[in-house]
């Protein structure tokens, strides 16, 4: 991953000093609550249900072994022994004391980490494909571009007090694994007819209260101009985005109000002034950034390994894990391993201090010290020799990190929800755990096949429920926790928003509701058809009818028993 130079390090160190001073003045009563709030948010500190929550930036999901060791230390010393991978690839701690945050930031700075702009109305952590740099279907590695954007957006003096938060994602692969259509700016790396690298630019995507799929505002922005072009977008937004209503302040609302052509015209007019200006990138700068990624140099190995093949044949459990949790690598003889943070019964995305350390060990022994976090809330060892997979599996399994469920029903994306989050309408984690308990049989899970289930505790949609094949949204009904269900959402190249199937459900009904959906799929599916494809083919109505008919039957049965 990218290694800091003295300038990167100095900025992070200066930030630690700044935040220590600000927190000191706040605790001394010199800064009001209102004045301090955006300062702490721009350092990832939320005041939550139990304590402050600290969100640490993981730039485009890249981590090093030594960083995980520091996270383990923080989890033990300042938290209750665990951390949490968020749906934007960041890492959160739920229990630190505010007084300790400056010290924690100091420890993070020691391993080239920080919490800069992980919250607040500013440009947030830039995200990318967790398999960037190693994916077999990658056209252009997005990481150097993400790093260039990270530096441009870090402490940008003009864009620290935007109308609302602002998220950028970059994709360089055939399949979009960065959900670029659900970001304020989605950048797709492309080449023009002459082979020059550039960006297709989508603007105004986002989930939340008003989910919108981003729209194309530029077909091709040459790479040299990308900072100028982003600056133009941000300036138009900063000056004209709504500030009177937080729910209408995202750039998607401005794009809708102006219409895409008019918005694009305003951006072009601004860009005309900035084009070829000082922020125009140079070959030397891009080469410098690329050169600071200390990627391992991998020579192709034989595609198969006799010992590996023998173990696959002999050990069903290992074979199942390889099938579900191991992905193709661009270099022959290597693979990427997904370490599942979705062990049934554990909060999706939670990592204990011991697990952080084990993953650090595995990364150092088998994966060149590299780790990635995914927006599906798992961890990845991007480059592992095929011959080492069995050893990795055994150790991961012993640590509860090898549940072979990646991409299956129990690989649930879930926000922290009502157990931790102040904004929640309802709890998320217990719903995830109840569904995992219901579908605990692996053979059955494999039979159901690929499916994505996403849960958010409120319409802020941190759990990306709109784009889940099945989406679950916590809603408040007269002070009680209820759940609305959508089906047919999808992330990736064909990003689509799910459709609500009908009135919401009580928490205890949720496993039954999911069972009804799954049964309807199994009864209707064609050979090899995924849940999502069946929903598309037969329509939402069929699922809706099944779910509510079975619900009525259950209620009727209950009444009979109670009568």
Partner 1 sequence: MPEIIKNGRVQHDDWQVVRLAEGEAASATALPAGRVIVPLAAWLLRRDELLARADAGVLGVWLAASDDPAALAPDLLRLQLVAVDFPKFADGRGYSIATLLRTRHGYAGELRAIGEVLRDQFDYLGRCGFDALQPAPGRYTPAQLQAALASLATFSTPYQASATHPQPLFRRAHRPAAHEEAA
Q: What secondary structure letter does DSSP report for 525? A: P
Q: Is 347 in the site for ligand SF4 (CB under 6 A)?
A: no
Indicate which single residue of 456, 484, 495, 516 sits in contact with ligand SF4 (rule: CB under 6 A).
456
Partner that binds at residue 348, options partner 1, ligand SF4, none, CB closer than 5 to 8 Å by kind: none
Q: Which is nearer to partner 1, 41 or 445 (CB)?
A: 41
Task: Give the helix/strand (H/E) hosting 62.
Answer: strand 62-64
- By CB under 6 A, name the one of 461, 485, 501, 518 that touches ligand SF4: 461
CA distance 446 to 408: 7
CB contact at 8 A, 470 and 451: yes
Q: Which residue is nearest to ligand SF4 (CB)?
A: 457
The secondary structure element, H or E, covering residue 32 is none
Among residues 206 and 463, whose Cβ is nearest to ligand SF4?
Answer: 463
Q: Which does 22 bind (CB under 5 to 8 A by kind): ligand SF4, partner 1, none?
A: partner 1
Sign of CA dihedral 409, 410, 416, 420: positive
Nearest-CA neighbor of 67 among 56, 79, 78?
56
Q: Does 429 bind ligand SF4 (CB under 6 A)?
A: no
Q: Kindly tell me which residue out of 458, 487, 513, 517 binds ligand SF4, with binding defined by CB under 6 A.
A: 458
Minimum CB distance to ligand SF4, residue 166 (Å): 17
Binder of residue 285, out of partner 1, ligand SF4, none (CB less than 5 to 8 A by kind):
partner 1
Complex with ligand SF4: residue 374 or 454, whichever CB lies closer? 454
Beta carbon of residue 153, minimum distance to partner 1 (angstroms, whole number): 9
Q: Please check whether residue 360 is in contact with residue 410, taking contact to mean a CB–CB distance below 8 angstroms.
A: no
Binding region for partner 1 (CB under 8 A): 3, 5-7, 10-11, 14-15, 18, 22, 30-31, 35, 38-39, 121, 151-152, 154-163, 227, 235, 238-239, 243, 273, 277-279, 281-282, 284-285, 287-288, 291-292, 294
d(C-alpha 456, C-alpha 495), whole Å: 18
The interface partner of residue 287, options being ligand SF4, partner 1, none and the CB cut-off 5 to 8 Å by kind, is: partner 1
Cα within 13 Å of Cα(549), Cβ side: 10
- The alpha carbons of the chain give a radius of gyration, in whole angstroms, of 23
When asked if residue 53 is in the footprint of ligand SF4 (CB under 6 A), the reply is no
* Distance of alpha carbon 285 from alpha carbon 271, whole angstroms: 21
In the complex with partner 1, the residue whose CB is nearer, 40 or 177, is 40
Name, in order, each residue with C-beta under 8 angstroms of 481's C-beta and a sequence gap of 6 or more: 418, 425, 426, 427, 474, 506, 507
Burial (Cβ within 10 Å: 0-12, 13-18, ≥19) of residue 512: middle
Provide the minimum distance between the beta carbon of 6 and partner 1 in the complex, in angstroms, as a whole number. 8
Contacts of 110 (CB under 8 A, 6+ apart): 70
Pick the closer one to partner 1 by CB: 291 or 300.
291
Which one of ligand SF4, partner 1, none is in contact with 415 (Cβ closer than 5 to 8 A by kind)?
ligand SF4
Q: By CB under 6 A, is residue 363 in contact with ligand SF4?
A: no
Question: What mask of x and - would describe binding to ligand SF4 in positions 463 to 482, judged by CB under 6 A?
Answer: x-------------------
For the CB of residue 209, give the shortest distance to ligand SF4 in the complex, in Å.
Answer: 10
Cα dihedral 396, 399, 400, 402 in deg (nearest 10): 0
Give the CA angle between residues 122, 125, 127 to the nearest 5°: 135
CB atoms within 10 A of CB 21: 11
Contacts with ligand SF4 by CB under 6 A: the residue count is: 13
User: Is 504:191 a contact under the CB 8 Å cutoff?
Assistant: no
* Interaction of residue 423 with ligand SF4, rule CB under 6 A: yes
Query: What tokens were used for 525?
Result: 């599916």
462 counts as binding ligand SF4 under rule CB under 6 A: yes
- Name the burial class of residue 193, with classes exposed (0-12), middle (13-18) and buried (19+) by CB atoms within 10 angstroms of its CB: exposed
Nearer to partner 1, 119 or 428 (CB): 119
The nearer residue to ligand SF4, 322 or 426, going by C-beta atoms, is: 426
Of the residues 253, 289, 421, 485, which one makes contact with ligand SF4 according to CB under 6 A: 421
Nearest to 465 by CA among 525, 395, 415: 415
**Which residue in 460, 493, 515, 545 binds ligand SF4 (CB under 6 A)?**
460
Which segment (283-291, 371-379, 458-466, 539-547) binds ligand SF4 by CB under 6 A? Answer: 458-466
Return the number of the residue (59 or 457) whose C-beta is nearest ligand SF4: 457
CA gap 162, 93 in Å, rounded:
26
Q: What are the tokens at 396?
A: 């991961």
If one asks whether residue 416 binds ligand SF4 (CB under 6 A), the answer comes out as yes
b/e map 517-553, b = 16+ CB within 10 Å: bbebbeeebeeebbbbebbbebebebbbebbbebbee
Residue placing its CB nearer to partner 1 in the complex, 22 or 403: 22
Looking at the Cβ atoms of 65 and 462, the one nearer to ligand SF4 is 462
Smallest distance, Å, CB 86 to ligand SF4? Answer: 9
Binding region for ligand SF4 (CB under 6 A): 415-417, 421, 423-424, 456-458, 460-463
């Amino acid at each position: 991953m990218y290694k800091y130079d003295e300038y990167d390090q100095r900025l992070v160190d200066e930030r630690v000093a700044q935040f220590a001073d600000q927190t000191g003045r706040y605790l001394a009563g010199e800064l009001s609550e209102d004045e301090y709030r955006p300062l702490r948010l721009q350092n990832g500190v939320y005041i939550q249900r139990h304590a402050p929550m600290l969100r640490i930036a993981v730039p485009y999901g890249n981590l090093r072994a030594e960083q995980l060791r520091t996270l383990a230390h923080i989890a033990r010393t300042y938290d209750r022994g665990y951390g949490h991978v968020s749906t934007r690839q960041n890492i959160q701690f739920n229990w630190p004391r505010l007084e300790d945050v400056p010290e924690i930031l100091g420890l993070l700075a020691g391993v080239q980490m920080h919490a800069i702009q992980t919250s607040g109305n500013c440009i947030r952590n830039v995200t990318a494909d967790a398999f960037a740099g190693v994916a077999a279907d990658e056209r252009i590695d997005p990481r150097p571009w993400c790093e260039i954007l990270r530096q441009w957006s870090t402490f940008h003096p003009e864009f620290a007090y935007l109308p609302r938060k602002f998220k950028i994602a970059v994709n360089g692969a055939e399949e979009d694994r960065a959900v670029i259509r659900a970001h304020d700016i989605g950048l797709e790396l492309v080449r023009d007819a002459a082979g020059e690298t550039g960006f297709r630019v989508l603007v105004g995507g986002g989930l939340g209260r008003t989910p919108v799929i981003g729209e194309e505002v530029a077909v091709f922005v040459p790479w040299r101009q990308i900072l100028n072009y982003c600056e133009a977008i941000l300036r138009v937004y900063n000056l004209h985005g709504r500030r009177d209503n937080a729910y209408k302040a995202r750039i998607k609302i401005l794009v809708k109000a102006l219409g895409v052509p008019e918005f694009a015209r305003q951006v072009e007019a601004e860009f005309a002034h900035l084009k070829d200006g000082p922020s125009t990138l140079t070959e030397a700068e891009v080469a410098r950034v690329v050169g600071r990624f200390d990627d391992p140099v991998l020579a192709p190995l034989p595609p198969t390994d006799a010992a590996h093949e023998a173990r696959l044949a002999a050990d069903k459990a290992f074979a199942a894990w390889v099938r579900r949790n191991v992905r193709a690598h661009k270099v022959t003889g290597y693979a990427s391993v997904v370490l599942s943070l979705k062990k049934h019964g554990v909060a999706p995305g939670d990592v204990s201090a011991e697990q952080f350390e084990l993953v650090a060990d595995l990364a150092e022994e088998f994966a060149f010290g590299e780790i990635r976090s995914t927006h599906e809330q798992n961890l990845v060892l991007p480059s592992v020799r095929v011959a080492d997979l069995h050893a990795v599996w055994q150790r991961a399994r012993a640590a509860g990190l090898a549940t072979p469920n990646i991409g299956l029903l129990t690989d649930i994306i879930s926000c922290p929800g009502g157990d931790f989050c102040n904004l929640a309408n309802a709890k998320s984690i217990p719903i995830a755990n109840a569904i995992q308990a219901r579908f605990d049989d692996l053979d059955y899970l494999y039979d159901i096949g690929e499916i994505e289930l996403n849960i958010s505790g409120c319409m802020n949609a941190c759990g990306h429920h709109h784009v889940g094949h099945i989406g679950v949204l916590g809603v408040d009904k007269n002070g009680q926790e209820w759940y609305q269900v959508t089906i047919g959402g999808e992330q990736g190249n064909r990003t689509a928003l799910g459709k609500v199937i009908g009135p919401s459900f009580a928490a205890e009904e949720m496993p039954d509701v999911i069972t009804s959906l799954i049964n309807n799929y199994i009864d209707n599916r064609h050979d090899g058809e995924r849940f999502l494809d069946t929903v598309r083919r037969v329509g939402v109505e069929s699922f809706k009818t099944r779910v509510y008919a079975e619900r009525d039957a259950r209620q009727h049965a209950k009444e009979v028993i109670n009568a």
